[in-house]
Structure 1
Amino acid sequence: MNRRTLPALTALATATALLLTACGGESSEADEKIPGAGESSAEASASPSEKVPTAADKLDRPEMNFPDDFKITFDWEKPSDPDGAAALGDAENYVKAIHYGIIKQDPESAAYKFYIEPMSQAHTYAKDQIQQYVDGGWSLMGELRNSNAKVKKGQAAQTQVVTFCRDESKAFGKDIKTGKKVDGGGENPNDSHYAVTLVMRESKSIDGYWKAVSIDGVKGAAECV
């Protein structure tokens, strides 16, 4: 088990640790990297313009409340581009929903299903991650921090590529029965940091509603350490 293993990137099982890259789902955006300085992208630090209401604002979204001993933060502002801002917002919701499913111990949680394209790689990944925690008897504790988000148009129609850094150094697994932190190996501090890529596609029928298609990540990525 990894001392600094955090939900949804690596599972806590000793023999079946599941990295983002192990999902195997292919996408036209699978090799997208976090844009560096000088690349064309809508950075999340940009000041958002006045938001124009969309059909997505009227959606009855699933409510997700977390216990006091677990916190997930997104340290960024939305980009000024409306599509980029909406895609980033629903990418956040997808990430939160996976962890909510783990907290609730529900591999069929309606929360993550609200933010995925059915039968997509992002769907399989979310369900598998939650199932591994359920099978292991683990929940979550500590703080999962996400930062340095960037958004750019994808190659496929109606897609946006969301990239960000993920810091798992202060988040841990929690034994469901004892309530104690699951601890163990993992001596390299860089293993707690990931560069994450999410491909989001806008709903064909609801303007401003984005769903996850695929998720990928690189452990110890230089831009996120």
Structure 2
Amino acid sequence: MNRRTLPALTALATATTLLLTACGGESPEADEKIPGAGESSAEASASASEKGDDGIDRPEIEFPDDFKMTFEEVKGTDADGAAASADAENFMKSIQHAIFEGDPESAVYKFYIDPMSEAHEYAKFQVTQYVEHGWVLTGELRQSNVKVSEPKTEGVRVVSFCSDESKAAGKEAKTGKKVPDKDFGSPYISFEVLMKQAKSQKGLWRASKVKTERGGSQCAG
């Protein structure tokens, strides 16, 4: 098995001060209209995109030809759970999009986060780490065993999945030169993302908190 891990992902997985347990859902929802928090700019960025089946103008997310990010389809959940899972996927993909764009303040990932939340800090931190080092990814990040929690609080769901980074590698954005791998253990990272229904747009779910664990229970088996 390939035991190496990606450079910035490892740093994030151990940055526990930024990651809060996503199973409670008791924290108050951030004001989605906070000036400068990113919502207005994200909506402006999305205005040129076609509306999806839910009628929401979503920002376009694109990757280079040498990178892809795949998610298994979630099973055994209701319409809200499926929507929360889809936007958790969009949240994760929007972070990688921002990395390729070299923009820690990307309006695209801000479209999918609760402004000023832990998920906001997580996304900005991850993008910043890559941009400051001049790194991007190549290969494939695979997300499997996708599950959605049963609703305990209205408008709140926890989306969990296993991220497999064994088929991905870091490279220098300008030169394409491979970034040296480091061995920190399992190439699998368990994610829990707390998703909340947006008050301003029906059908849109936004990430509020993120919890990760390298080789966690979501990746067992």
- C-alpha distance after superposition, 1:186-220 (max 9, x if no partner): 063x2x10110000000123222100000111101
Map of 1:151 onto structure 2 = 148
Map of 1:59 onto structure 2 = 56
Map of 1:129 onto structure 2 = 126
CA distance in 1, matches of 2:14, 2:203: 26
Task: Name the aligned partner's letter for residue 198 of structure 1.
Answer: V
SS class of match (1:174): strand
User: 1:158: how far off?
Assistant: 1.4
Task: Name the aligned partner's letter for residue 16 of structure 2.
Answer: A
Alignment coverage as a number of residue pairs? 193
Aligned pairs (5 A) from 1:85-100: 85-100=82-97
- The answer to whether structure 1 residue 160 and structure 2 residue 157 are counterparts is yes
CA distance in 2, matches of 1:79, 1:90: 17
Task: Name the aligned partner's letter for residue 166 of structure 2.
Answer: S
Map of 2:193 onto structure 1 = 198
Map of 2:219 onto structure 1 = 224
- C-alpha distance after superposition, 1:139-178 (max 9, x if no partner): 1111000011110135443100101111010111111232
Partner of residue 111 from structure 2, selected from 100, 110, 114: 114
Task: Name the aligned partner's letter for residue 74 of structure 1.
Answer: F
The answer to whether the 8 A contact 1:139-1:174 is kept is: yes
Partner of residue 181 from structure 2, selected from 176, 184, 209: 184
Residues 173-182 or 209-218, more deviating? 173-182
Identity of aligned residues (%): 47
- The answer to whether structure 1 residue 208 and structure 2 residue 192 are counterparts is no
Query: Does the C-alpha gap of structure 1 residues 20 and 83 become closer, same or farther in structure 2, counting only changes over 3 Å?
Result: farther
Q: What's the C-alpha RMSD, in Å, of the aligned pairs?
A: 2.5
CA distance in 2, matches of 1:215, 1:20: 12
TM-score normalised according to structure 2 size = 0.78
CA distance in 1, matches of 2:105, 2:184: 34
The answer to whether the 8 A contact 1:56-1:206 is kept is: no
User: 1:18: how far off?
Assistant: 2.5
Map of 2:5 onto structure 1 = 4
User: 1:185: how far off?
Assistant: 2.5
Name stretches of at least 5 consecutive residues in structure 2 with no aligned partner.
Answer: 26-51
Map of 1:24 onto structure 2 = 18
- C-alpha distance after superposition, 1:75-112 (max 9, x if no partner): 22454401000000000000000011111111011110
CA distance in 2, matches of 1:155, 1:30: 9
Name stretches of at least 5 consecutive residues in structure 1 with no aligned partner.
Answer: 11-16, 32-54
CA distance in 1, matches of 2:20, 2:75: 27
CA distance in 1, matches of 2:12, 2:110: 20
